[in-house]
Each structure stands twice: as structure tokens, then as C-alpha cells.
Chain A
Amino acid sequence: MRVTPNNSTFGRWLRGTALAVAATASIAGYSLQAQAAEGTIKVGILHSLSGTMAISETTLKDVMLMLIDQQNKKGGLLGKKLEAVVVDPASNWPLFAEKARELITVDKVAAVFGCWTSVSRKSVLPVFEETNNILFYPVQYEGEESQKNVFYTGAAPNQQAIPAVDYLMETEKVKRWVLAGTDYVYPRTTNKILEAYLKSKGVAAEDIMINYTPFGHSDWQNIVASIKKFGSAGKKTAVVSTINGDANVPFYKELGNQGIKATDIPVVAFSVGEEELAGLDTKPLVGHLAAWNYFQSVKSPINTKFISDWHEFTKKPTRTTNDPMEAAYIGFNMWVKAVEKAGTVDQTKVIDAMIGVGVPNLTGGISTMMPNHHITKPVLIGEVKGDGQFNVVWSTPGTVVANEWSPYLEGSKDLIADWRKPMFCGNFNVVTGKCGGASK
């Protein structure tokens, strides 16, 4: 259980302190927020630079600063320089909404790149709808959403979870499944989708074990032991992990110590990337899997250039790259292209221009923005190597289109999203023919 500042007088006081601390400690991040020069286009960056999520989100802020810097070196956008406005929502969900409003109404940014957790995204949605601004969301998520003002450049469940399960079923002949996750919306929804999917593939209910743990769970002894026991029923077993953030390191350490090897019970993770493995000795984990749309180890000229630019920009020659960084990269380039296409940063026009925009992704293909505001991406399965990188063992032949509404869930299987006119709806029910039919 984390101590997160909350809605009380005490909480507000704490939040104040948190901000003050964050402000002094990350002056570097703020230095770009110089006095607004005439003729610049402002871009908002809404990532936590302090608090629990700082570990993941700081990297995305850095990559955005790099991309903006590169764009300015190329001559900016529409003849103007881009200017980054960085704010710190401090891993505090209500503060995300406040900061988003500040970016839009005070700084008048043309678009915002930000959020990591689903709850932070949900918290800012009303602000973007009300002000008709644009949010680029760069993280893999549970789907079941499509909003006019949001562009989702991370993976939907069918671009990550389902192909991973298919891979295990086909190549590893897995018959028994442990769905282990952290207790919040992304794992719960993903596991609901996976459970329905596995059952549709003929997996019996007793061959599925679902386990949730709190954020930052650190004592995995008996959960790992029960996974071991569950795996001893004479059928090939695999763990599908939606365990998030900090809890992963102790989980993998316990797996390694209890001697569960990838050749016995493989673990496929959807939230573990190069960054998370950085805090781990990966030798006991060799062979465990992760499903993403990008790995640092992918060999393509564009990726090699991206990595060397990243090392040069951060001045750290060992700093890893990861999947959400690629999603941020794609999102930024798509926005640039859409603005050039529309000839203006006017949000209504850019939202229209976004659909159909295609930009190169880092794995050597092209990702395209679809009418459902999600992008096409390839799906890759990687195995952990001894050096903390991934070895890509499988990939889809082409790119996969996102199912924003899962066809495996009762409430959403009849819904589609299409933000082209005349439909212009994020939750169109094809059975009743109405917009907003069975959405949540």
C-alpha cells in the first residue's frame, strides 16, 4: 500500500510539499519552459517526475524533449519553433487533471503528450473533451475506450496480450494458465479479456488461476509456491503477468530463487521492459518472455539511429530504450505530420487530419493512425537474455489493427469506434445502430 497524497487538508498540504520538492529538484526539466517567445508552438508534456510513477514516466519526458529538440533542428513546424512545456503531476491522479487544464488554458499548448497509468488518463479525459485539445497516450492499456480527443499510440489488448497467449499455446503447448496481476484496472480488464479468450479456445475453468496482488507487493513467497503447485498438475503451465512496476523485481527474484526456470514454467509479461530489468540480475530469468511492439534489440537502421540519438541526448551511453518510448516517438511524428497536412495547429482540424497518417515505427515498418484513434503495430515476443535485453523469438508478419473494444467481452463486443464523419462516434453499437449504446 502506497502513501499517496489524497483529498484532505493534510493531503493538499502534502501535495504542496511534493510540488515544491519536485520543482526544486527538477529545475532542469523546467528550464525549457522559458518565457513564451512570439511565434512558437507550445507542446505540453504531462508526465510524473516525482512519486511512484516517476521511475517510468521521467524517461518519456526525456524522449519528448529529445524529439522536440530534433524537430527544431530540422526547422521546427510550420516555420515556427516548438516549445516544450513540462509540468509535474507527481503521480497524483487528480493533479493530472489540474495540470492538464493549466497546460491548455494558461500555456495554450497545441497538444499534450502524457499520462502513463489508465487512472491518470481517465482523470484528464473530461478536461480534454471540454477544451477540445489533443492528448497522445503512449502506453499499452486495457482498451475499452476511444475518445475524440485522445490518440492511443500504445497497444490495445489484441496487439499485445492475445498474440502472446497464442504464441504460448502454439509453440510452448501451454494448457494451464496463471493470470497474475496487480490489483487495478489494466490487469483486471486484460485478465477478463484473456479469461474469455482462453475459454473460447477450450481451456477449462480449473486450468485458469487468477491472482491479484497490491501495488508494490514485495513478499511473493507463497504466491510463487502456489504457482509452482498449480504447475505441477501434469500439464504445461505458463504465467501471464500483468504485474506492474515495482512489484516485478521481487517477483522475478523469488521465481529465480525458488528455481522456477523458463523451461519449466515460462512467464510472459506485459509490463516488463528493458527499463524494469535494469534493476535485476537477469541470469536466473533467461528465457522468460515479454510481449511488446518494440524491443531495444530490434535490428533496423531507424532503431540504431534512435538509440544513438538517445544516448547522445541523455549523455548516458548505457541508457535503455523501451516500448512506450517508441509509442511516444510514433505519436509525436504523427502529430507533426498531421499538423503539416492540416497546415495549422487548430485542434479540430488536426484531429481530422490525424486519421490515416502513417509514420515509420522503429521496427522497420509503418504505423498508421486508424479511424478508432489507435495505431497499427507489429507484435513481438522476446525472451529475456542474460544481459537484460530481449531476444525476439517471434513476431507478427505485418502490423495488427487495434480492437479498442474487445470482441471477447459481453459489454463491448458489439461496439466499434470510427471518428470519421458521418459516424464520428467512439462507441457505436452495430446491433442497435446507435452511438453510445452499451458503453460504460
Chain B
Amino acid sequence: MALFAGPVPQARADDGPDAFTGLASKNFDTVANAIRALAVSGSPQAAATIAALESENLYYDTEVDGAPAILIKQGSAYIDARTGKKPEAEISEDDVNNVRVNNAVRRAIEEAKGGLELFSPDAATRTKAANDLFKSHEPSSLKMIARAMATEKDPRAAAAIQQAQAAALLTSSEGSDADRIAAIAILRARGDVESKSLLQSLHDQSKPVAAAADAAISSLARIEELWSVVQSVFYGLSLGSVLLLAAAGLAITFGVMGVINMAHGEMVMIGAYTTYVVQEVIRAQAPGLFGASLFIAVPLAFIVSGGIGILIERSMIRFLYGRPLETLLATWGLSLILQQAVRSIFGSSNRDVGTPLWMSGATQWGGLTITWNRLTIVIFAAIVIAALMAVLRGTSLGLQMRAVTQNRRMAAAMGIKTPWIDALTFGLGSGVAGMAGVALSQIDNVSPNLGQGYIIDSFMVVVFGGVGNLWGTVVSALTLGIINKFLEPIAGAVLGKIVVLIALILFIQRKPRGMFPLKGRAVEQ
């Protein structure tokens, strides 16, 4: 390559400052303009430089002869951004400044990357670049888009480029009315929030164009309304599944055993901290396994929380059976002890539990945005409940549990070790709470207070659903979730919550045993 030659790097050969020089500035606008200039400069180093800037690895040094040096940091060494080689001048660490980035610069980076990647050999990259250009819709990119359009073969990329072109055309002052109306039609067909946003930002259009835009906006708004109902249902399901996870363990300890366990939230919290510890170990020992960290954490959280649950049952709760008030107070005290213990061990600040890559981000399905972490939690909740049902219905342990809770003395007479079953049942409930903690660590703070936020909701779900009935808990969690999510946009989050609570109180007044009360002699005890 010609870049090898000569003591003067090629990019500096022409007169005046090159596109790189503007990067050596404390002024964000100057940097943003330099990026735009760099993107169209055709320099082979442009892409690498912009990528370095995006990852905050770009530095400059004005203490050199001639134009300021622009440097890319790689590990602990610097390379010259203009040439991609080791810098000729001696670089002293004290003179090197980071090229600082703000949102204006970041927008310029996105735009520039969109432009550069529009000619990438990979069709998916080109589609993504066209989508970025659609978002930035700068009139200045029209020429470049036209160039890309001429050579584009891939149908999906071509469609994306066409949309980008329509967007840029509409924001520019070019194009005849017919062109503009055609562009509006393309946006209308795209049919998402961004198209609507763009159409709404158009002002001072000629009459037919304005009319077409208005028609497109109202059609898009109608579609949006429809989708928002579907969206609320999904949000409700997702909130419901979180409630369900938090309440499932309680449905066992409170619902089946009748123990008012105020430390239930802390079992959830311990599950979340188990996830944190698992991730810390993985980060230190085997970073490659990070994607699987949650799969490792789920059984561990079950064992840790379940183990602690058994310990609590054996050392405390078994002395308090049949004395609900004492149990309430003792477990409340216990919850404070557990919180403070975790605070002493891990510190009072939030712990950073990472989200594996496969769980972050969202997917667009029509007008519906589904975030992967929420979807995963919905599925996880379904699996947990199915497993719980299977244990209760299909195993001998489940049979013994049900026998003990229905008629303790008869069960004992049949040779079941009731104390042992009590401990295992409590352990199972606590273990399920621990697994819920793994899921909650993905959406909430991992702090000593994590459990407190869920304890009231959990009791609400179990009582509403009908104590002792797992199906009731499922239905109640999902109902409460969906009601909440439909009320929230209308009444606001605070009032929505109050309305739900009042409705629940009224409901419990009418039906004290919840939606699906248990029937039969066991209830009468």
C-alpha cells in the first residue's frame, strides 16, 4: 500500500488540516463535524478511527510538530489513527487527551457508521446501516443512499434503503410533490412509531403532501392504538409472571402449610445474591460461561434458599405451629436479621448482576416490542409452576405433603414422618422463592431490600387466588398483572396500585377464601 511510503503520512500530504485534525478538540461540535468530514473523506482508516471513538479509545496529542496526532489506544500502546501504524513521534502519556464524546458526537458517529456500512459486503450489515440512516434521516445522506440503491441486490436491504431514502427525502427540501407523496406511502407501509414520528415532524408542506401525510398519520395512529392493547396484555402477563414467581413459594409455605412467613421475601433476595455470587465466580474463573450463568444459578439458588428454609423450619418455625401471630412476628424479625446479615456481608449498595447477551434487548413483532428478559421470565415462570405441580401431584413427596396438610394425625398414623415432611415442604417453598430471586435479579435491584418489595404483593396474590390452591395463585397473579397494566396508563402507577388494593379488599370482604377456595373437610380445621 502507498501508505508505507515516506516520512510524511499520506493523509497529511495535502494542504491544510485533514479531516482527522478536527478530532483534536474539546469542542463537541468541532468533533462531530470532523466525524462527518472523515466519513466522506474516503480515508481507509476512517472506519477504524470512528470505531475507536465510539469505544472511547481515541486520543489526541497536540504536543507534537505539525498537525495534532490522533491516536487509537490498543491495550496499553497507541497507534496513529491516520496511518494505522506505530506513531513516529514519541508519545508521552501526560500529553495525551481522550477525545471526549457527548450525545451530539454519538449521533454523528451513528450517522457516519451508517454511511460507511451502507457499502459493506454483508447484506445484514447494510440493512442495519440503512435503518440507522432512516433514524437519523439527514438530507445530506441522500446522495450516498442513491449510490447504494443503484448497486443493491438483496431485497431486504433494498427495502430498508428505500425507506431511508424516503425519510431523507421528506426531511430535505428536494423532490416533487409526487415523489414526496410516494415517500409518505413508503413510510406508511413501514408502519412503526418512528415513521409516525417523522411524518409528524413535517411542516410547511404543499397541500397535497400535507393531506397525504395527515392521512398516513391517522392510519398509523389507529394501528398503534390496536397494538397498544396487545402490548398491555403482554405487559400484564409479564408482570403477572413476576408476581407468580414471587408468590409461588409462598403458595406452598403459606398456602399449603399455613405458615405466615414474613421472611419469604428474604428467600427471594438470597436467591438473587446467589446469582450474583455465581456470576462473580464465573467472571473470575471462566468468563466464557457467562451466558450460562443463570442456568447454573437456578439450581444453586434453589439449594441455598431451600437449605436455609429447612434450617429456619427446624430451628424456629416448628415451635410455632398453630400460633400465627407469633410466627408472623418471629419471621418478621428473622427477615430483618437476614437483611442486615446480607448488608454486612455484601455491603449496602446494589450489586451488579449482569444480563447474558441472549436475554438483553428486544424483538419487534408487528407493533409489539417484546423484551427478551421479560419473555424469558414468562417462560421460566411457566416452567417453575409446571415443575411444582408435577412435584405436588406426581411424586410420593407431594402425596405425603398433601396428606400431612390435610390430616396430620392420620398421616402420622400411616407412617409418614410428619416433622420431616414439614421441613421438606418449607424447604421446597423457600427453594422456589430462591429460583424467583434468580429471575428478579434480571429486572430489579439486587440489594438487601429486594425481598421487601415483593412480600406484600406475594401475600396479595396468594390470598386473592385462594389459599392452598396453586391454580388459584396462577390465575390470581396473571389477573392482578393484567388489571394493573391496564389501569396504569389510565390512572397512573400510584393510583392504579391503590385501586387494585381497594378492589382486592372489597373482593376479600365478599369472598374471604379468595377466587378458588379449597373445599372439603380439610378447610374446616
Query: A3-B455, A393-B102 are contacts. A213–B444 as well, Cβ < 8 Å?
Result: no
Chain B: CB-nearest residue to A221? B235
Question: For chain B, which range describes its interface: under 10, 10 to 19, 20 to 34, or 35 or more residues?
Answer: 35 or more
Cα A326 to Cα B172 with chains together (Å): 49
Evaluate contact between B493 and A50: CB separation under 8 angstroms: no
> What chain A residues lie within 8 Å of B445 (beta carbons)?
246, 249-250, 279
- Complex CA–CA separation, A256 to B200 (angstroms): 25
Which residues of chain A come closer than 8 Å to B224, judged between CB atoms?
Answer: 229
Closest Cβ neighbor of B446 among chain A residues: A279
Query: B10 in the interface, Cβ–Cβ < 8 Å?
Result: no
> Chain A residue with minimal CB distance to B501?
A1
B175, CB-defined interface residue at 8 Å: no
- Pair A391/B101 contact, Cβ less than 8 Å: yes
A216 adjacent to chain B (CB < 8 Å): yes
Interface string of A200-240 (1 = CB under 8 A from B): 00000000000111101111011101101101111100000
> Judging by beta carbons under 8 Å apart, are B103 and A21 in contact?
no
- Tell whether A52 pairs with B201 under 8 Å between CB atoms, given A171-B104, A212-B492, A281-B354: no
Tell me, rounded to whole Å, the shortest Cβ–Cβ distance linking B71 to chain A.
19
List the B residue with the shortest CB-CB distance to A281: B354
Binds B, one of A10-18, A147-155, A362-370, A415-423: A10-18
Q: Which residues of A contact B198 (CB under 8 A)?
A: 234
Contacting residue for A3 out of B196, B231, B452, CB 8 A? B452
Looking at chain B's contact residues, is the secondary structure mostly helix, strand, loop, or mixed? Answer: helix
Question: Given the interface contacts A249-B444, A258-B369, does A222 sit within 8 Å of B103 by beta carbon?
Answer: no
Contacts of B332 in A (CB 8 A): 14, 17
The interface bits of chain B over 334-375 (1 if a CB of A lies within 8 angstroms of the residue's CB, else 0) are: 001101110110001111101100001110000001011110
User: Is the C-beta of A262 less than 8 angstroms from some C-beta in chain B?
Assistant: yes
* A54 and B348 contact, CB distance less than 8 A: yes
If A235-B201, A279-B352 touch, does A383 touch B337 (CB 8 Å cutoff)? no
Measured in the bound complex, the distance between the Cα atoms of B340 and A50 in whole Å is 7
Chain A residue contacts of B329, Cβ below 8 A: 13
Instruction: Report yes or no: A257 in contact with B371, Cβ–Cβ below 8 A.
Output: yes
Task: Give residues of chain B (148-200) contacting chain A, Cβ–Cβ below 8 Å.
Answer: 193-194, 196-200
In the assembled complex, the CB of B365 is this many whole angstroms from the nearest CB of chain A, namely 14
> Residues of B contacting A259 with CB < 8 Å?
361-362, 369
Q: Mark B202-222, 1 if CB is under 8 A from A, else 0.
A: 100000000000000000000
What separation, in Å, do the CA atoms of A15 and B135 have in the docked complex? 54
Residues of A within 8 A of B104 (CB): 171-172
Say yes or no: B340 contacts A258, CB within 8 Å: no
The interface residues of chain B lying within 8 Å CB-to-CB of A228 are 193
B7 CB to closest chain A CB, in angstroms?
35
Closest chain A CB from B227 CB (angstroms): 10
A278: Cβ under 8 A from any B Cβ: yes
* Given known A2-B452, A258-B371, contact A223–B443 (CB-CB < 8 A): no
Cβ A257 vs Cβ B350 within 8 A: no
Q: Is the CB of B453 within 8 A of A218?
A: yes
Query: Per a CB cutoff under 8 Å, which of A172, A219, A276, A385 touches B242?
Result: A219
Query: Known: A17-B336, A246-B449. Contact between A279 and B197, CB under 8 A?
Result: no
Which residues from 21 to 50 on chain A have a C-beta closer than 8 Å to any C-beta of chain B?
21-22, 24-26, 50
For A217, the chain B residues whose CB sits under 8 A away are 493
Q: Which residues of B contact A276 (CB under 8 A)?
A: 350
* Beta-carbon contact of A229 and B355 below 8 Å: no
Task: Please tell me if A287 contacts chain B, counting CB pairs below 8 Å.
Answer: yes
Q: What residues of chain B lie closer than 8 Å to A52, measured between beta carbons?
A: 449, 452
Residue numbers in B under 8 Å from A229 (CB-CB) = 193, 224, 228
**A76 CB to nearest B CB, Å:** 30
**Also in contact, A393 and B100, with CB within 8 A (given A232-B193, A232-B194):** yes
Please provide the chain B residues from 291 to 348 with a CB less than 8 Å away from any CB of chain A in the complex.
329, 332-333, 336-337, 339-341, 343-344, 348
A262, B443: Cα distance in complex, Å: 20
A residues near B336, Cβ cutoff 8 Å: 17-18, 21, 50
Q: With an 8 A cutoff between CB atoms, is A358 at the interface? A: no
- Counting CB contacts under 8 A, is A280 at the interface? yes
Q: Is B2 an interface residue (CB 8 A)?
A: no
Q: Let me know if A278 and B102 touch, CB within 8 A.
A: no
Q: How many residues of chain A are within 8 Å of chain B by beta carbon?
A: 68
* A183 contacts B by Cβ under 8 Å: yes
Please tell me if B456 contacts chain A, counting CB pairs below 8 Å.
Answer: yes
Given A1-B456, A263-B103: A225 in contact with B369 (beta carbons within 8 A): yes
Whether A234 and B444, one on each chain, are in contact in the complex, defined by CB atoms closer than 8 angstroms, is no
Would you call B485 and A221 a contact (CB within 8 A)?
Answer: yes
Most chain B beta-carbon neighbours within 10 Å: one of A59, A214, A250, A262: A214
- Selected from B102, B443, B497, the residue in CB contact (under 8 A) with A253 is B443
Set B56, B103, B200: member contacting A233, Cβ < 8 A: B200
Residues of B within 8 A of A211 (CB): 492-493
Cβ–Cβ contact A221 & B362, under 8 A:
no
Contact bitstring B487-509, A, C-beta under 8 A = 1, else 0: 01100111001000000000000
Q: For the complex, is B49 an interface residue (Cβ under 8 Å from A)?
A: no
Q: Report A-chain residues with C-beta under 8 Å of the C-beta of B340.
A: 21-22, 24-25, 50
Given known A213-B493, A246-B447, contact A275–B102 (CB-CB < 8 A): no
Contact A262 B352 (CB under 8 A): no
Chain A residues with CB under 8 Å of B494's CB are 183, 212-214
From known contacts A183-B494, A213-B493, A393-B100, infer whether A257 and B110 are also in contact, taking CB-CB under 8 Å: no
- Bound: A18/B334 CA distance, A: 10
Q: Which residues of B contact A278 (CB under 8 A)?
A: 349-350, 352
When distances are taken between beta carbons in the complex, the residues of chain A under 8 Å from B235 are 219, 221-222, 225
**Interface assignment of B107: CB less than 8 Å from any CB of chain A:** yes
Q: Does A78 contact B (CB under 8 A)?
A: no
Q: Chain A nearest CB: distance from B146 CB in Å?
A: 25
Is the beta-carbon distance between B444 and A391 smaller than 8 angstroms?
A: no
In the complex, what residues of B have CB within 8 A of residue A223's CB?
488, 493
A214-B494, A393-B100 in contact; A275/B231 too (CB < 8 A)? no
Give Cα distance in the complex from A54 to B340, angstroms: 10
B239 adjacent to chain A (CB < 8 Å): yes
Provide the bound-state CA to CA distance between A266 and B107, in Å.
Answer: 12
> B28 near A: Cβ within 8 Å?
yes
Cβ-closest chain B residue relative to A280: B352
Q: Give the chain B neighbours of A17 by CB distance below 8 A.
A: 332-333, 336
Which residues of B445-478 have CB atoms within 8 Å of chain A's CB atoms?
445-449, 452-453, 455-456
Chain A residues near B348 (CB, 8 Å)? 54-55, 58
Interface presence of A254 (CB below 8 A):
yes
Instruction: Please tell me if B408 contacts chain A, counting CB pairs below 8 Å.
Output: no
Query: Once the chains bind, are B492 and A263 in contact (CB under 8 Å)?
Result: no
- CB-defined contacts of A383 to chain B, threshold 8 Å: 101-103
A386 contacts chain B at the CB level, 8 A cutoff: yes
A284, CB-defined interface residue at 8 Å: yes
Interface presence of B232 (CB below 8 A) = yes
Q: Which residues, 271 to 293 on A, are CB-close (under 8 Å) to B?
A: 275-276, 278-281, 284, 286-287
Let me know if B362 and A258 touch, CB within 8 A: yes
Complex CA gap A143/B200 in Å reads 38
Q: Which of A341-363 contact B (CB under 8 A)?
A: none
Tell me the nearest residue of chain B to A385, going by C-beta.
B56
For the complex, is B238 an interface residue (Cβ under 8 Å from A)? Answer: yes
A249 proximity list for chain B (CB < 8 A): 350, 444-445
The answer to whether A257 touches B373 (Cβ under 8 A) is yes
Distance to closest chain B CB from A19 (angstroms): 10
Q: Can you name 20 A-B pairs with beta carbons within 8 Å?
A: A3-B455, A3-B456, A17-B332, A18-B336, A21-B336, A25-B341, A50-B336, A52-B449, A52-B452, A55-B447, A58-B348, A219-B238, A221-B238, A222-B231, A222-B489, A225-B231, A231-B197, A232-B196, A275-B349, A393-B28
Given contacts A214-B494, A234-B200, 20 further A-B contacts (CB under 8 A): A1-B456, A3-B455, A3-B456, A17-B333, A25-B340, A50-B336, A172-B103, A211-B493, A212-B493, A213-B494, A216-B453, A219-B238, A233-B197, A235-B201, A246-B449, A253-B373, A254-B371, A254-B443, A258-B362, A393-B100
Nearest first, the 5 closest Cβ-Cβ pairs linking A and B are A279-B350, A234-B201, A234-B200, A232-B197, A257-B371
